Amino acid sequence: MTDNPAPLKFHVPEPEVRPGGTPDFSNVPIPKAGSVDRPPVDVDPRTIRDLAYSIIRVLNREGDAVGPWAGTLTDEEQLEGLRHMMTLRTFDARMQMAQRQGKTSFYMQHMGEEAVSCAFRKALIQGDMNFPTYRQAGLLIAGGYPMVDMMNQIYSNEMDPLKGRQLPIMYSAKDHGFFSISGNLTTQYIQAVGWAMASAIKGDTKIAVGWVGDGATAESDFHAALVFASTYKAPVVLNIVNNQWAISTFQGIARGGSGTFAARGLGFGIAALRVDGNDYLAVHAVAKWAAERARNNLGPTLVEYVTYRVGAHSTSDDPSAYRPKTESDAWPLGDPVIRLKNHLIRRGLWSDERHKQTEAEILEAVIAAQKEAESHGTLHAGGKPSTRDMFEGVYAEMPPHLRRQRQKAGV
């Protein structure tokens, strides 16, 4: 004990590199593809704690699928997966452009993260419910939801399924297992756990999936959700998409000293895994493993997808203000579309020519959907939802003050 203690220092984690610097991911350990064990789904979570610190990978550098997590998808399913990711990328590019053209106020891209939501969707069955954030449109694309309905919502036009009452891209599609997106981060986790608990209480067979980003794990809802999920062994998969950045804050701010985001689950006794989020095959294998646990009353699983947000946070963001412009080129896990493409070419199931041809077909389909959506209006032109719609759909019976407001508005 000293009478003259040194002044305390306030600690703020700093990213390795700032704009102008040379990107460096040499401190991100990447295990070899195929090197992580695949435990049985009924494993005791206490015996697989190392999986929260490793990275499950299937596709190696050469493009081969290797190790115990390989082999969960048929050739046709892999080809379909590639198509889904390519569709999401093209959809994003067109909608990003539409925002710049003033046809919508706001857009959020998935560039670099396409494998996460597209592959995860294929591990679910009809009736399961996702509680997604704004960066999981792949759940809809891979689930066969019509692109034109997504665009109608983005344009808030007369065919907008949500009638102009949500922010663009905040889709809602109950029949497609896609709960209304909430802009309030991490509400997804408590809602998913609550929904899963209700499913178990009712003796139903459906499971829930909660989604958050790395930054959003800092919300108290994240921790509350883990308490309830672990205590009641809720049939839920809890996904953390670690794309290295929140908006301008790097992942180290939310992660603190925990080592990894997945490791947050260990203190709760929750099975926790990390997976290469740019590896379609690995994402699917882990998603299937976690979903099977939930479906068999084995409890929740926390999954961290290690990936990289290549684009801006949203159309309102300029990442060059806080990270080197070339940082995404240095990301060691590559591009999910190219990695699956190379794998399929290597196996003789695909070719550069077919890839180019498919790109053109997809672009044509996206443009056709866009034309159809635009015929029903865009943000500033054409058909709009009725003003009357904003009074509907919240209360079973409209309260008197809303009825008065509606009368005053003359609708």
Ligand X SMILES: Cc1ncc(C[n+]2csc(CCOP(=O)(O)OP(=O)(O)O)c2C)c(N)n1
- Supply the DSSP symbol for 217: G
**Distance (Å, whole) CA 344 – CA 63:** 8
Name which position in 213, 235, 277, 336 contacts Mg ion (CB under 5 A).
Answer: 213
- Contacts of ligand X in 126-145 (CB under 6 A): 135
> Cα–Cα distance between 343 and 115 in angstroms, integer?
14
Q: Of these, 216, 229, 270, 290, which contacts ligand X (CB under 6 A)?
A: 216
Give 243 or 342: the residue with its C-beta nearer to ligand X: 243
Smallest gap from residue 135 Cβ to ligand X (A): 4
Among 178, 245, 280, 305, binds ligand X (CB under 6 A): 245
Instruction: Tell which one of 92, 113, 149, 214 touches Mg ion (CB under 5 A).
Output: 214
Which residue minimizes CB distance to ligand X?
213
Q: How many CB atoms lie within 10 A of CB 128?
A: 21
Around 158, how many Cα atoms within 13 Å sit in the side-chain half-sphere? 9
CA distance linking residue 253 with residue 246, whole number of Å: 9
Contact range with Mg ion by CB under 5 A, out of 84-92, 242-250, 321-329, 394-402:
242-250
Q: Where is 239: in which H helix or E strand?
A: strand 236-242
The DSSP element (H or E) to which 95 belongs, if any, is helix 75-100
Minimum distance from CB of 240 to ligand X (Å)? 9
Using CA atoms, how far residue 395 sits from 28, 162, 238, in Å, is 50, 15, 31
Residue (206 or 274) nearer to ligand X, CB: 274
Q: Which of 156, 243, 307, 370 binds Mg ion (CB under 5 A)?
A: 243
Between 214 and 221, name the residue whose CB sits nearer to Mg ion.
214
| Cβ at position 88, least distance to ligand X in Å | 15
Question: Could you write out the DSSP letters of every residue in 273-322?
Answer: EEEETT-HHHHHHHHHHHHHHHHTT---EEEEEE----S-SSTT--GGGT
Residue 316: which of 109, 18, 87 has the closest Cα? 109
- Which of 161, 173, 145 lies closest to 376, judged by CA? 161
Q: Which residue is nearest to Mg ion (CB)?
A: 213
The CB density around residue 16, as the number of other CB atoms within 10 Å, is 16
Nearer to ligand X, 222 or 289 (CB): 222
Q: Which residues pair with 267 in a beta bridge?
A: none
275 binds, among Mg ion, ligand X, none (CB under 5 to 8 A by kind): none
Query: Quick check: 185 binds ligand X (CB under 6 A)?
Result: yes
Write down the least CB distance from residue 108 to ligand X, Å.
8
List the single partner that 206 binds among ligand X, Mg ion, none, CB under 5 to 8 Å by kind. none
Site string for ligand X, 375-404 (x = CB under 6 A): ------------------------------
Buried b vs exposed e over 61-100: b needs ≥16 C-beta within 10 Å?
Answer: eebbbbbebbebbeeeebbebbbbbbbbbbbbebbbebbe
Give 194 or 299: the residue with its C-beta nearer to ligand X: 194
Phi/psi at 25 (nearest 5 deg)? -110, 20
Which residues are CB-contacts of 113 (< 8 A; sequence separation ≥ 6)? 135, 241, 243, 277, 305, 307, 308, 309, 310, 336
| Binding site partner of 270, from ligand X, Mg ion, none, Cβ cut-off 5-8 A by kind | none
Considering beta carbons, is residue 78 or 99 the nearer one to ligand X?
99
Out of 92, 160, 214, 276, which residue is the one contacting ligand X (CB under 6 A)? Answer: 214
Could you say whether residue 215 binds ligand X (CB under 6 A)?
yes
DSSP single-letter state for residue 241: E
Quick one: which of 13, 29, 161, 183 contacts ligand X (CB under 6 A)?
A: 183
Choice from 59, 246, 312, 366 touching ligand X (CB under 6 A): 246
Alpha-carbon distance of 308 to 327, in angstroms, equals 10
Binding window for ligand X (CB under 6 A); candidates: 141-149, 154-162, 167-175, 215-223? 215-223
Mask for 271-310, x = binds Mg ion (CB under 5 A): ----------------------------------------
Identify residues 312-371 at the interface with ligand X (CB under 6 A).
313
Q: Which residues sit at the interface with ligand X, rule CB under 6 A? A: 135, 183-185, 212-216, 219, 241, 243, 245-247, 309, 313
